[in-house]
Amino acid sequence: MHRRLADTEGRELSAQLRGTGIALDLGAIRLHVRSPLALLAERIAQVYAEFPLLAPGEFCDIHVQVVPGSSLRRWLRPQARFRVDGVEPFEPFPQDHALPLMEWGANFSIAQRLNQHLLLHAGVVAAGDRAVILAATPGSGKSTLTAALALSGFRLFSDEFGVVRRHDLQLLPLLKPVALKNESIDVIKRYAADGSGGRIGPTHPRTRKGSVAHLAPDRASVDARARPGLPTIVVFPGYQPDAPCSLRPEEPLRAFQRLAFNSFNYSLLGPDGFRTVAALLDRCPAYALSYSRLDEAVEAIGKLLETT
């Protein structure tokens, strides 16, 4: 039985991260991370607290490193650099932004490599195994709504990747911390304070995407990370200040265009991408959601799922 990161002593976790590295089972993939940065070990322990710590040497799909900057910057303005298979796809970040760097680098690597499946830019949650796909462009409030649903009793699959297994259209969890940005951080802190008990890690100000914090997945979602979900509805959310909650059926052609657009690898998959999106929308009704209040949006999605 693997220990959870929350049950691993901090010095032990830091030593393993610095030495052989740590392996995390995210569901659809396993991620291996190495870093000598003690602060990163502390942050990983916070936002991956409920994940099991796999034994050294277990197979992983993606291997990444977060290492200190070199030369004088190590002392004047400490930096962190992200590597995947020895390649550095990004410019260095300030060292206290090592966790956002690791998360963005891991997402970049997943989007580049997990092409045996259709990858949607979508949050995914489920009631039991009946899954809701929340597909949207950045800035639409997708991650905020995904976090609110996860804090309202829905099972969390992902806030970034809707992983659709092409041969049977099942959704695979790709479970990572939910990335919250700017105003969404305080919005979800208030929502979590209503008694739902969400774990939100430290806020990282002045990143390249503004302020960023991460909501840790709950234990039930982590324990179900190997269990696929049945796609049931597709929702295209859009936050609009002061707007009433409105949930309306999306016209089929428009739904296809929006879902294909919100895919990381639709074009790369060619005809298989077309067939998978078409089959997914044949199975799932699609809706456009406008909202300003999270509680109203969560209630509307819950009711829709119950009647579909």
Q: What is the pLDDT of residues 245-282, one digit of tens each?
A: 999 999 999 999 999 999 999 999 999 999 999 999 99
Residue 198, pLDDT score: 67
pLDDT of residue 42: 95
* DSSP code, position 95: G
**Sequence letter at residue 124:** V
What's the confidence (pLDDT) of residue 139?
82
Q: Are 287 and 248 in contact (CB under 8 A)?
A: yes
Q: What single DSSP character describes residue 307?
A: H
For residue 56, how many C-alpha atoms fall within 13 Å in the half-sphere facing its CB? Answer: 9
How far is residue 274's CA from residue 270's CA, in Å, rounded to a whole number?
7
116-120, 197-201, 214-218, range with the lowest pLDDT: 197-201
**Angle between helices 38-47 and 98-113 in degrees, nearest 10:** 70
**DSSP symbol at 6:** G
Does the pLDDT value for residue 4 go beyond 90?
yes
**SS3 of residue 69 by DSSP:** coil
Radius of gyration in angstroms for the set of CA atoms belonging to the chain, rounded to a whole number: 19
pLDDT tens digits, one per residue of 21-58: 999 999 999 999 999 999 999 999 999 999 999 988 89
Q: What kind and span of H or E run contains 37? A: none
* Averaged pLDDT score across all residues of the chain: 93
Task: Give the pair of three-digit tokens for residue 104.
Answer: 């963005």
Q: Is 85 left (phi over 0), alpha (psi -120 to 50) or beta?
A: left
Query: What band does 75 get if pLDDT is binned at 50, 70 and 90?
Result: low
DSSP state of 79: E
The structural domains of the chain, with segments of one domain joined by +, span 5-113, 118-307
- Quick: pLDDT tens for 89-130: 998 999 999 999 999 999 999 999 999 999 999 999 999 999
